[in-house]
Amino acid sequence: MNIDITNKVALVTGGARGIGRECSLLLSKAGAKVVINYSRAKEKAEDLRDDIIRDGKEADIFKADISKPDEVEKLFEHIKKSFGRLDILVNNAGIIKDNLLLAMSLAEWDKVHDVNLRGAFLCIKQAGEMMMANHSGKIINISSIGAIKGGRGQTNYASAKGGLLSFTRACAVELGAKGIQVNAVLPGMIMTAMSERVRKRAGAEILERIPMGRYGEPSDVANLVLFLASDKADYITGQAIPVDGGLSIS
Ligand code: NAD
């Protein structure tokens, strides 16, 4: 299947490393102009932007903590000024702050919701307005199989990613008539910095439960993101698609 998103403008939040980095790369390889949002990984963002430009494509970076309304506003003002439109939003930025429920602090609970859920809300509000103007757009929310499967020490994360899943469906209902599709991708255990501690702690046990017998690569997730960002997925909205090697059904 040939996916061509030439000249589409895409924003990937937390797009400088891990799954976000792979999404930025694949979207740009397929022709999109990519805005890479980062919060702290400035060097990684600059390196990625330079790599993409060297490859003959257009890319831009912008620092913003997506849980902060004023910073999100500035990010979208920048996109409006630089590109005049937004076609694809990948709400990828996310964090974990694992703890057992009874030991979990309110700060751990709030922070995880602030980035994973409130951040997506803030970005979708801004992106939705820009996309409505063109009567088209693709929004892809990176949730987690933690949204549909209980995970020890992850009540805050499960709640935020589960919220993101329900939010995806409600957004899809509201925005469908405006030509905007909203879908959620649910990664399982993917080889990034985020999953490193869990893989070290319970790797063998988790691997045994993955029917495909391996952890996922960031590209496993990004391939689906690219498909959902393209016109090949024009009739798909409000869906939650696991990319987990079968972990959620085993
Ligand atoms: P990662 O830690 O490598 O990347 C997360 C990215 O989000 C980083 O670039 C980080 O700087 C950015 N970020 C964090 N807080 C931010 C903020 N306030 N504002 C802007 N950016 C912020 O981890 P990853 O595995 O690449 O995670 C990407 C997404 O995939 C996350 O939403 C995560 O919850 C989800 N996910 C990952 C896995 C996995 O196994 N790795 C599984 C399920 C879901």
What tens digit of pLDDT does each residue of 153-204 get?
999 999 999 999 999 999 999 999 999 999 999 999 999 999 999 999 888 9
Q: What is the pLDDT of residue 151?
A: 87
- Which tens digits make up the pLDDT trace of 145-165? 999 998 899 999 999 999 999
pTM: 0.98
Tokens 């257009």 found at: 58
Distance between CA 229 and CA 173 in Å, rounded? 18
- Give the residue from 8, 4, 18 showing the smallest Cα distance to 48: 18
Mean pLDDT of 29-33: 98
Instruction: Please tell me the residue having the least CA distance from ligand 1 atom 41.
Output: 190
Q: State in Å: Cα 14 to ligand 1 middle.
A: 6
Query: What are the respective helix, strand and coil percentages of the chain, to the nearest 5?
Result: 55, 15, 30
- Which tens digits make up the pLDDT trace of 46-78? 999 999 999 999 999 999 999 999 999 999 999
Report the chain's mean pLDDT, rounded to a whole number: 97
- 116, two tokens: 């994973």
Q: What is the DSSP letter of 105?
A: -
Pocket test for ligand 1, best of 63, 92, 207 (most atoms within 8 A of CB): 92
Distance between CA 235 and CA 233 in Å, rounded? 6
Q: State in Å: Cα 10 to ligand 1 middle.
A: 17
- Is 157 designated active site? yes
Q: State in Å: Cα 177 to ligand 1 middle.
A: 30
Helices (H), the chain: 18-29, 42-54, 69-83, 106-113, 119-134, 155-176, 196-209, 218-229
Would you state the torsion angle of the CA atoms of residues 245, 165, 134, 174, taken in this order, to the nearest 10 degrees? 140
- 139, two tokens: 């929004």
Instruction: Please tell me the residue having the least CA distance from ligand 1 atom 10.
Output: 14
Pocket test for ligand 1, best of 19, 89, 159, 217 (most atoms within 8 A of CB): 19
Pocket test for ligand 1, best of 49, 74, 95 (most atoms within 8 A of CB): 95
Distance between CA 117 and CA 184 in Å, rounded? 12
- 51, two tokens: 């790599």
Looking at domain 9-243, which CATH architecture does it have?
A: 3-Layer(aba) Sandwich (3.40)
Any residues with Cβ below 6 Å from ligand 1, and which? 13-14, 16-20, 37-41, 65-67, 92-95, 115, 142, 144, 187, 189-190, 192-195
Q: What is the pLDDT of residue 202?
A: 86
